[in-house]
Amino acid sequence: MTALASLDPTRDDKVRAFERLKAELSAKMGPASLTVEGALPTAIPEVDRLLAGGFPPGVVATLEGTAGRWSLAAGLIAELTRRSLVAILDDGTLYPPSLAEAGARLDRVLVVPARKTLEVARAVDVLLRSRICRLVLMPAIALRDAIWSRLAMLAHRSGVLLIVMASRAGAALSAAAEVRLYCAFDRAIVRGKRGLWGNFAGFDFCIDLRKHKHIPAARLGTARLRAALH
Amino acid sequence: MLLCIDLSGEIPEPEQWEELLDALDAVSPLIDDVRSGLAYLDMHGSPGGASAWMTQTRTLLSAYGRVARLGVGLNKIAARAAAHVADGSLCRPGSEAELLAELPLALLDIEPEMIERLTLLGIERLGDLAALPHGPFVRRFGSAAARWHELAKGVDRRPFLPRTRTVAIEASIFGEGRAVDEAQVFFALRMLLTRVCSDLERCGKRAGALHLSLELEDAGTVSYDVPLAMPTAAERTMFEMLRAKLEGATFEAPVVGLRIQARILEEGGEAQALLRAVDFDPAKVAVTIARLEAILGESVTRATMRQAHLLEERFAYEPFSLDKRKVTPLQTESDRGSAEESRTAVPQLRLLEVREIPVELRAGEPAIVDRQAVTQCAGPWRIQERPFVPAPITRDEYDVVLADGTFARIYHQGAHWYLRGVYE
């Protein structure tokens, strides 16, 4: 009522009042009350907290940005390959030893060599329909809105999580994606001295949750994370 | 009584030998296939005597253009000794030791080095060996010597191991018209699979693979080997696999004949879903892989790790299969443990297509890489692969952080710098 009572005919005041109302409602919901049912956890506490338990199944999610997105995906792959299969559509850049280092079982990762746009789309279609994997990871490709919608619908029906690795999601993908995470490099961690006597122990990066089908916009947050080499 | 068939003079090819053994089934259904060219037939309860058995065998072998030495005895060594002494002879029960006494040690099927060693000690015939005191001989030559000693005396405790019967399960259709579209081919496939599956069920078998042959109107033949994820007798699974295999295939001429063979036949049932700790269905996986391969024209793979210094050689890809030896089927203790634990993110290297990049050095370190300032640098690490060949691969690798936040692995090889990958 307080928010409604303070409504002013001018547009700026309306916007301010709306923002205040959103904040009040978000605060009432309480941070602990939200958990996504059947979420696929990454077992990385900061990420799971940010995503209210993990990635929701049956959606299209994007991991955008540069450094950190594959580190995040590797955690999820490691967790899912404990009991399931995971499919990765490889454009030739996959480096399996890194995945193994993150704890992924390589014997349960299907590496699908698809490079052309049509091949990728058809392979994802087959994988989503078959439901043999809990997670399908694909590179970002230029597809029409209708195809992204179709893949999103297939993911929803099959309950398979489809993650698209994109530097920056285009308009069509952004619309189809129900979870969007943006990763940004923060700083490198150097162990020892610079040069010959030093080596990189990993890097810090920030994750910005930009969209989530179950989390209201006002509660989308960020997290800082460290990707550390063992 | 055992009948020994010794073709040592002309050892047949494995396929011919199998064919011969199948034919010998008419003489006795119990055949111990020792090796290509040597087999024993168990003649207990067979009508006729030794000479009748040998005549029948000889007639059968001559149909295949084969001449063998035949012998009959109470056990394997006696039958073999009889065949060795004279083709068509019989070793009477109780006279084994006497018959073996003059025969060479080679009859024991022991290594030539051992025969040479025994010969140096003056043991040239089986009779010499049989005359040795059992205890000291075994103490000197080990436990295997106990068996040689017994064999030399005509005592053969080696079990008779009948060869397993080869069951051929197949179904075919020819001369029933021509199929010009895939629906007709699939209809015929379903019909053949019904027959194959009912035969499998009747024999209590499961097929581990299928072989499909399509005969075309222009006299061409197209064949497909279709491995199944796990042995099955389920018609639907087999049909899905065959359909997936044929997806995207085009033929030069209409199909006029089809043949399906069930291969890698195994006994026993299939693992039930309730008892499996993993949540994927092997049959569905196999069908999906076949579909993907039909679309991509390439194998769906899995990565395996291997020891190497160069980054790109530390892994290899192999076709993905649900081979029990290659997929961990059950949740292990380590899995259960890790379920409780939290992880830390691990940097992932992404291999880029190797390209040469301009690099400027300052104080011996990369300062500008690909026109970007280096903010942090670690290295070099000298990597040498195949150091013993005339031109080994020698590289100096560096990890660099560039001004735009790119975290990259670069290397210096020869006079050039290359970008190998980026950490993401």
pLDDT digits (tens, 9 = 90+) for B73-124: 999 999 999 999 888 888 888 888 888 999 998 888 888 888 998 899 898 8
Q: Determine, for residues B345 and A75 on separate chains, whether the beta-carbon distance falls below 8 Å.
A: yes
Interface test with A, best of B344, B350, B355, B381 (most A CBs within 10 A): B344
Interface test with A, best of B243, B287, B292 (most A CBs within 10 A): B292
Of the pLDDT bands very low, low, confident and very high (cuts 50, 70, 90), residue A111 is: very high
Measured between alpha carbons, how far is A143 from A122 in angstroms, rounded to an integer? Answer: 12
Report the range out of A33-47, A76-90, B99-113, B263-277 with the highest average pLDDT.
Answer: A76-90
Task: Show residues of chain A in contact with B320, CB under 8 Å.
Answer: 110-111
Measured between alpha carbons, how far is A77 from A88 in angstroms, rounded to an integer? Answer: 10
Interface test with B, best of A126, A158, A206 (most B CBs within 10 A): A126
Q: What percent of chain A has pLDDT over 90?
A: 50
Write the CB contacts of B412 (distance below 8 Å, at least 6 apart in sequence).
Answer: B359, B380, B395, B396, B397, B398, B418
Q: How confident is the prediction for chain B on average, in pLDDT?
A: 85
Measure CA B169 to chain center.
21
Which residue is listed with tokens 């490198």?
A188
Please report the pLDDT score of residue B326 as a whole number: 52
Q: Chain B: give the shortest CA distance to residue A164, in Å.
A: 14
For A58, A110, A113, B275, B327, the CA distances from B279, given in Å and listed in that order, are 16, 15, 24, 10, 13
Write the CB contacts of B309 (distance below 8 Å, at least 6 apart in sequence).
Answer: B383, B384, B385
Chain A / chain B CB contacts < 8 angstroms: 203
- Picking from B327, B338, B377, the nearest residue to A195 by CB comes out as B377
Of the pLDDT bands very low, low, confident and very high (cuts 50, 70, 90), residue A32 is: very low
If one counts every other C-beta atom within 10 angstroms of the C-beta of residue B144, the result is 13
Among residues 321-340 of chain B, which lie with CB inside 8 Å of chain A?
326-328, 331, 335, 338-339
Of the pLDDT bands very low, low, confident and very high (cuts 50, 70, 90), residue B265 is: confident
Work out whether the CA dihedral B54, B57, B62, B67 comes out positive or negative: negative
Nearest CA among A78, A4, A180, A164 for reference residue B346? A78
DSSP letters spanning B25-39: TTT-S-EEEEETTEE
Interface test with B, best of A80, A89, A93 (most B CBs within 10 A): A93
Res B277 pLDDT > 60: no
Q: What pLDDT digit, counting tens, does each position of B237-262 carry? A: 899 889 888 887 888 899 999 999 99
Nearest CA among A230, A174, A225, A227 for reference residue A50? A225
Please report the pLDDT score of residue A215 as a whole number: 84
- Label residues B165-181 b or e (16+ Cβ within 10 Å = b): eeeebbbebeeeeebee
- B211, B226 in Cβ contact below 8 A? yes
Q: Determine, for residues A228 and B351 on separate chains, whether the beta-carbon distance falls below 8 Å.
A: no
- Picking from B302, B378, B380, the nearest residue to A110 by CB comes out as B302
**Residue A159: HSE in the Cβ half-sphere, 13 Å Cα cutoff:** 7
Give the three-state DSSP class for A131. Answer: coil
Nearest CA among A155, A166, A202 for reference residue A63? A166
Q: Is B421 on the interface with A (CB under 8 A)?
A: yes
Structure tokens given for B310:
């160069």
Instruction: Return the H-helix or E-strand segment holding B291.
Output: helix B282-296
Instruction: Tell how strand B255-267 and strand B169-179 pair up.
Output: antiparallel
Please report the pLDDT score of residue A3 as a whole number: 44
Instruction: Return the H-helix or E-strand segment holding B407.
Output: strand B407-413
Measured between alpha carbons, how far is A40 from B241 in angstroms, rounded to an integer? Answer: 31
- Label residues B91-125 b or e (16+ Cβ within 10 Å = b): beeebbeebbbebebebbebeeeebeebeeeebeb
Comparing A1-5, A38-42, B60-64, B269-273, which segment has the lowest mean pLDDT? A1-5
Task: Show residues of chain B in contact with A159, CB under 8 Å.
Answer: none
Average pLDDT over residues B295-307: 90
Q: What pLDDT digit, counting tens, does each position of B48-57 carry? A: 888 899 999 9
Residue B182, sorted as left (phi over 0), alpha (psi -120 to 50) or beta, turns out to be: alpha
Q: Is B280 on the interface with A (CB under 8 A)?
A: yes
Among residues 201-230 of chain B, which lie with CB inside 8 Å of chain A?
none
Q: What pLDDT digit, counting tens, does each position of A178-188 carry? A: 999 999 988 88
Among residues 157-186 of chain B, which lie with CB inside 8 Å of chain A?
none
Sheet holding B69-73, edge to edge: B31-35, B38-42, B2-6, B69-73, B89-90
Structure tokens given for B382:
């000298």
| Of residues A218 and A141, more confidently modeled | A141
Q: Return the bridge partners of A227, or none.
A: A203, B345
Q: Is B55 on the interface with A (CB under 8 A)?
A: no
